[in-house]
Amino acid sequence: MLEHDVLIIGAGLAGMRAAIAARAGGANAAIISKVHPVRSHSSAAQGGINAALTDRGDEWEDHAYDTIKGSDYLGDQDAIEVMCRSAGQSLIDMEHMGVTFNRDEEGKLGTRAFGGQRRARTFFVGDFTGQALLHVMFEQLIKSGVQRYEEWFVTSLIIEEGQVAGVTALEIRTGKLHAIRAKSVIFCSGGCGRLFEPSTNALIVTGDGMALAYNAGAKLMDMEMVQYHPTTISGSGVLLSEAARGEGAYLRDKNGERFMEKYAPNMMELASRDVVSRSEQTEINAGNGVNGCVLLDCTHLGEKLIMEKLGQIRELGLDLTGKDMIKELVPIRPGMHYIMGGIKTDIDGQTNLPGVYAAGECANVSVHGGNRLGANSLLDTIVFGERSGTHAAAFTRGQSYINVNEGEVVAREEQRLQGMLDRPDNGDRWGKIRLAMGDSMNRNVAVFRNKEGIEETIQELQELKTRYTSVPVHNKGKVFNTDLIFALELGFMLDCAETIAVSALERKESRGAQFRIDYPKRDDENWLKHIVVSQGEVGPELSNLPVTITKWTPEERKY
């Protein structure tokens, strides 16, 4: 049987960083990914990565404060301290590995401004920072010699003696099902954006890891905290990076007014994302938009700057809206972008299940709280990817494998998948169910929420879950059966959607990304705490955890 000390699920930035660290820690590490590593969604990150470099007068404490304020005080301050302290070294490590960061006049790493921060500390490669980092991380992965299972889809976790003992995975190219045994598993499987429609997220971002972990007993935390990004293209939902505003772009309503003056007179367009998205939606709802959008104005930035620093998003705008940002305003609107919530971990990536770790967007160490600052997520993946890889390697030293009956495990899972293939065609399609779920979430669990709406969505999700149990799979073949994979992903998404909706219903206040029209104020007395969801006998069970506060006491949030 295939077996590894540490098995990393997911080969985005978090996963590859974890794998390299686990290998460096002496473990027999392997990485498994449903797409080739460089196709992972980390490639889509455009704007940059944050770090406070002391040699240019920045302090990690300032970065921490901005992050905590951005989180609307829901972030755990011990974890934020770890992230902001390590940021400088992590950044320099990436530069040494070969990332082609833009430079300043002196040839040192250059910065750009990003939302919610009082100082420019976002380092970048044009407007394709994620791709640049991801490809370099892949280079290092090749160099490290870590075993890679590329285009293998994890379908389930193997649980033996009450513990996670490995995974079953479908080799997509052949359709063969394998069991892989592992002493430790690290989830680095990314977010779950596709359960909203539209979303900036890639089609593969379907919450697989969160759902697998949840169903195995892991705790999910802060699932109600879903970030809507202020500048997405209407229709497809594709992102135009915050880098545009970081470089000085304006937001305008249909009369050409810079409406952010009303909402964030100091930070204007660079207030934190929850604030800007809410302001835009308020204007659109008041009839001050254009076809459900407001306008992004880059025309004063000049062709040279746009071509040098925003070339990729200019192309996206041209390709997808037909507008050239050098001379035209581009219609944009708030769109689902990121999930702050995820599998609850400590600062070493450990979950509540022994030997099970998580890092990156699927995890919640709690550095983003109620609202993630732009460019803090790439940092999160690298810092906590490394920490969990290192810790897992140490954990497996001296551990032995749990017994797994390979034949039995594989046969059972094959049977389950065959059951899906054998369903009669009842005319339903997984695409229809996904769309209904995405619409419902985007209608009721979006920028503005209320009790009735969320309850409606919870009801609709129940109906969709029932439909899901009999949705047919058209493709009966073995080789590259993407039809079957989508059907499996839909199951994961439905589970995640439910945890988001019940958490949003539970939090009876407005904080960060959660704005309840029926409870429009932040309520520190009752709700300065995390909401935790775990799988109970009959669906999700809710509990609470305190927020860790070290030295920054909650205050009113103004930008």
Binding residues (CB under 8 A) for other proteins: these are: 35-36, 38-41, 43-44, 55, 92, 95-98, 100-110, 125-126, 128, 130-132, 135, 139-140, 142-143, 173, 202-204, 235-236, 238-239, 308, 312, 315-316, 319-322, 429-431, 473-475, 477-483
Place of tokens 């005080």: 73
Q: Which does 12 bind (CB under 5 to 8 A by kind): ligand FAD, other proteins, none?
A: ligand FAD
Distance CA 476, CA 430 (A): 15
Q: Does the protein bind ligand FAD through residue 345 (CB under 6 A)?
A: no
Q: How many CA atoms lie within 13 A of 441 on its CB side?
A: 35
Minimum CB–partner distance for residue 381 and ligand FAD (Å): 5
In this structure, what are the phi and psi dihedrals at residue 13, rounded to the nearest 5 degrees?
-60, -45
Nearest to other proteins of 356, 433 (CB atom): 433
Minimum CB–partner distance for residue 111 and other proteins (Å): 12
Q: Which does 336 bind (CB under 5 to 8 A by kind): ligand FAD, other proteins, none?
A: none
Nearest to other proteins of 151, 160 (CB atom): 151
Nearest to ligand FAD of 67, 514 (CB atom): 67
Task: Give the residue among 355, 334, 335, 352 at the shortest CA–CA distance from 343.
Answer: 352
Distance CA 187, CA 216 (A): 13
Catalytic residue among 63, 245, 314, 372: 245
Q: What is the number of other CB atoms lying within 10 angstroms of the CB of residue 459?
A: 12
Q: Does the protein bind ligand FAD through residue 35 (CB under 6 A)?
A: yes
Nearest to ligand FAD of 19, 264 (CB atom): 19
Looking at residue 434, its amino acid is R
Q: Does the protein bind ligand FAD through residue 378 (CB under 6 A)?
A: yes
Write 450-457 long-range contacts (CB < 8 A, 24+): 450/516, 450/517, 450/518, 451/505, 451/516, 451/518, 454/501, 454/504, 454/505, 455/505, 457/501
Q: Which of 34, 183, 245, 511 binds ligand FAD (CB under 6 A)?
A: 34
CA 322 to chain centre: 29
Q: Does the protein bind ligand FAD through residue 94 (CB under 6 A)?
A: no
Nearest to ligand FAD of 290, 305 (CB atom): 305
Distance CA 303, CA 384 (A): 38
Q: Does the protein bind ligand FAD through residue 227 (CB under 6 A)?
A: no
Minimum CB–partner distance for residue 173 and other proteins (Å): 6
Determine what percent of the chain falls in helix, strand and coil, rounding each to the nearest 5. 40, 20, 40
Task: State yes or no: is 474 an active-site residue.
Answer: no
Q: Does the protein bind ligand FAD through residue 11 (CB under 6 A)?
A: yes
Task: State yes or no: is 245 an active-site residue.
Answer: yes
Binding segment for ligand FAD (CB under 6 A), chosen from 69-77, 257-265, 375-383, 546-554, is 375-383
Binding segment for ligand FAD (CB under 6 A), chosen from 13-21, 60-68, 295-303, 386-394, is 13-21
In this structure, what are the phi and psi dihedrals at residue 177, rounded to the nearest 5 degrees?
-100, 135
Task: Give the residue among 350, 353, 340, 342 at the shortest CA–CA distance from 389.
Answer: 350
Q: Which of residues 111-150 bind ligand FAD (CB under 6 A)?
A: 129-130
Stretch (H or E) spanning 14: helix 13-24
Q: Is 536 helix (H, G, I), strand (E, B) or coil?
A: strand
Distance CA 9, CA 469 (A): 26
Nearest to other proteins of 132, 367 (CB atom): 132
Instruction: Please say whether the beta carbons of 529 and 544 come within 8 A.
Output: yes
Instruction: Please say whether the beta carbons of 200 and 442 come within 8 A.
Output: no
Task: Give the residue among 54, 45, 70 at the shortest CA–CA distance from 121.
Answer: 54
Catalytic residue among 4, 41, 181, 229: 229
Minimum CB–partner distance for residue 435 and other proteins (Å): 8
The contact set with ligand FAD (CB under 6 A) reads: 9-15, 32-35, 40-42, 44-49, 129-130, 153-154, 188-190, 200-201, 204-205, 208-209, 239, 337-338, 360-361, 374-378, 381
Q: Which residues form the catalytic set?
A: 229, 245
